[in-house]
Amino acid sequence: MNDHVADALTQSPSTVFPVAAPAKDDCNAGQSATRLSELLVGLGDAATGELAALQHGAGAAAHTDDLGSDGVEPTDASSNQDSAGDAAMVRVYENRLAMVRLGMATSLFYALRTKHAPTAAHSLRVALSCSAWCERLGLSDEERDRIEVAALLHDIGKIGIPDRILRKPGKLTVEEQMTMDCCAELGCEILRGCTDDQSLLEIVRYSGTWFESRRQDDTVRGDALPLGARMLSVAGAFDAMTTDQVYRGAMSRERALQELFRGSNTQFDPELTRDFATMLEKRPEMLHGCVVDRWLQQLQNTSHNLLGKPVGSHHANVAGAGASEEDQSPISIFDSLSGRSSSIESSIAAELLYFETLGDHLRDGVAFTNREGEILYWNDSLAQMTRIAAVASVGTHWDSDELKFATVGKNESAECPVNECLQRQIVVTRNMKLLSAQSTDEHENLDHRDKLAPSKPASELPGRDVLVHVAPVENDNGGGAVVIVRDISDRAQMQSQIQTLHKKATSDPLTGVANRAEFDQRLTHSTAKAKQQGITFSLIMCDIDHFKKVNDIHGHQAGDEALIQFASVLERHTRGSDLVARYGGEEFAFLAIGSDNATATRRAEEIREAIASTPLKGLDGESVTISMGVTEFQTGDAPETIVARADRALMQAKENGRNRVVQLGSGFVDSDEKPEPSGWLSWFTSNDSGKQQEFELATPVPTDLAVEKLRGFISDHRAEIINVHGNELSLRLNVSGGNGRRAADHRMAFNTLIRLSESRGKRGVRGASLTQTQINVTITPLRGRDRRSASFGPCVRQVINSLKSYLMAEIVQTDD
């Protein structure tokens, strides 16, 4: 699937969600009210802060695999090391999956990986998702085989796309987009050489076709599209949006689901979109066991012939009974080199590992390029500065304009410092500005008339000041350049923090990390900074699995050693202004400043694997496992709601079997609020604050999923459910935000009435039916004196913004 096309939905700056006009064939109002009433009654459990238990299939929970999805805490140190793994084992695992599903056609997957490794990894993830989805839908083995193979090779046509288009970091031109649109046909031409299965070819051909396509060339639309193609479209778009791309960072899962629902009935099949979202809500981790079991253990020689050879033959003995033995693991085609070449590669790999480890622990951004300017290495600090992950930047050409590096000062050369260094073979040091996304978006949205006006100098644009140092490097492979980017915008702030640091007053005496008081202070500061300056952050709550058993079996000294080692591993994974704190007992909090949901989840997985592979002397060489909950600051959040949502994610991780990471929250979205008037002028403009506040919201999420999101809102805000009647829900909320002289004035109590309704409308040229949820919210202050408070308006907006984030909704503009 074309990742640029999958990202097209997110580029439309729609601030108000359009409400579809009710259709004539709308569902009966009485039936809708009854169903809504049944859904809302289940919210009573949230009044005590408890969530209803998620139902899941008993068969999926019984599966076990090498990744620890059985939910049993490992007791052998070697098994923990196997679960952690390294890059080489990941490659072997990829090879095993590809060989089992493709047989002799595995070379096609290898060719795609050689051409563009991120595309091959995307295809493998989509194939695994479709395999779990087929299991949920109960499709036949023949249809499931066909969809899995098509998913693995649906992007094989990218082999014929030029690198200048495939690896382009910016937006594609119209001609380049038309070239990318040929991927499906190119893929079918390649696959015709090894299969005559027309159903498989049609899945590949129509995998990028919109459900309601407006192109005249697309004669197949809607339900006439193959089921596999419609499934690939949804799963492929979701994976593309939740993965780092060279032209944008990864979205959170909640944001990606919101975009899928926005595109339902136009780009995606609405029923499949809803079923895919339901699968993610019903703990998809429990489906992984059956997928791996099917791919690596249950494939027989009787599998269907899809790509010129029975799937599973020749490799079935590798992935079957011997899959659990280390001496019978499959051999990659890259391992068939001579012993001399293997030793050379091993030495080079060891040297690269040393430099990568060194670069990942530097505060400065570091990158390596070859003589042509192609990026070979990109460390974590540079990824944090540019918001471009290493997987999306390595292999592309260094372009200062695309990477948002702008020259500062009239005396500075406008030439790219990397190009100047490579061409002249000299050391180049230059003061530059790394522009923020806000400034670049404003520049791209200028019309032709605005572009004729003189542009602002780079020094006046929002961003951070950096010092770029580029030096040439000579070696036997042709050399290149090393790029060092140093952030010089916060030197004064860093020096002030160092001078005012009080280690004893802010640290935990056992582990040496920050204590609870320091964490609360930093969380409050980070929340205020995110609201004022738009600097996002994520919170990771960590807890040691079965810690009571560690104390009971090995003693409290062994438990203390586990806590100290756990804190040490967490601190080794910090960067910049991150904070590690002991929240209480065996629970730790990791404040990841500048990390969004996707980045924090990836870092949490690295921490989890590091803990599982760290043996402890007090446990006789065994190690412990941890469960982690991840969430990002989102619009309308307060420090209490962030902690509550992260705790809820942590509890889901424990309920799903422990030793895993669960992500919740839609992520940070800039709000378009207008600043409140201050001073004596606010006295004249505060008359409307005493009125009853009523808002209309709309979300593309179906009603049953909207109720589940509302359940999380009630739990995280510790709201009290007053009454549930029909489709109406009455809540009592306490919101922090007052600024009175007394402590009681710092919190406001609201009576909140929420009415849910489900409507159907028409969308698209064919007038396809669209289901959406409308939410009417009425907020009334509980105390009369709060009506006249200047903080009443901001507190109301905080509640509405939080509802928008949880329900993935937008405010509907109504005509007065």
β-bridge partners, 45: none
Contact in structure between 160 and 124 (CB atoms under 8 Å): no
What is the four-CA torsion angle of 596, 599, 603, 604, rounded to 10 degrees?
Answer: 60
50 classed as catalytic: no
10 Å Cβ neighbour count for 667?
24
- Taking each helix axis from N to C terminus, what angle separates 141-152 and 198-205, rounded to the nearest 10 degrees? 50
Q: Count helices and strands (H / E) in the chain.
A: 33, 17
How far apart CA 375 and CA 396 sit, in angstroms, is 6
How far apart CA 550 and CA 548 sit, in angstroms, is 5
* Amino acid at the residue 140: S
What is the four-CA torsion angle of 504, 505, 507, 512, rounded to 10 degrees?
Answer: 10
Backbone angles phi, psi at 380, to 5 degrees: -65, -35
Strand (E) or helix (H) holding 800: helix 792-807
Count of alpha carbons within 13 angstroms of residue 292, beta-carbon side? 19
* Cα–Cα separations (whole angstroms), residue 518 to 228, 507, 564: 52, 8, 18
Contact in structure between 181 and 161 (CB atoms under 8 Å): no
What is the four-CA torsion angle of 459, 460, 465, 468, rounded to 10 degrees?
Answer: -40
Contact in structure between 622 and 75 (CB atoms under 8 Å): yes
Task: Say which of 94, 148, 518, 586 is annotated catalytic.
Answer: 586
* Cα–Cα separations (whole angstroms), residue 23 to 220, 274, 705: 26, 20, 22
Burial level of 521, CB count in 10 A (0-12/13-18/19+)? Answer: middle
Strand (E) or helix (H) holding 486: strand 480-487
191-195: long-range contacts, CB 8 A cutoff, minimum separation 24: 191/108, 191/153, 191/156, 191/307, 194/104, 194/105, 194/108, 194/307, 194/308, 195/105, 195/306, 195/307, 195/308
Contact in structure between 198 and 229 (CB atoms under 8 Å): no
SS3 543: strand
Which structure tokens are listed for 217? 């060339």
- According to DSSP, the β-strands at 579-584 and 661-664 are unpaired
Contact in structure between 613 and 80 (CB atoms under 8 Å): yes
Given the structure tokens 């907006």, which residue do they identify?
A: 797
Nearby residues of 686 by Cβ (< 8 Å), 6 or more positions away: 788, 790, 793
Burial level of 664, CB count in 10 A (0-12/13-18/19+)? Answer: buried
* Amino acid at the residue 633: F
* Amino acid at the residue 32: S
Contact in structure between 262 and 9 (CB atoms under 8 Å): yes
How far apart CA 571 and CA 233 sit, in angstroms, is 40
SS3 697: strand
- Characterize 615-647 residue by residue with b for buried, 16 or more Cβ atoms within 10 angstroms of its Cβ, and e for exposed: ebebbeebbbbbbbbbbbbbbbbbbebbbbbbb
Nearby residues of 58 by Cβ (< 8 Å), 6 or more positions away: none
10 Å Cβ neighbour count for 22?
11
Task: Give catalytic residues, as residue numbers.
Answer: 586
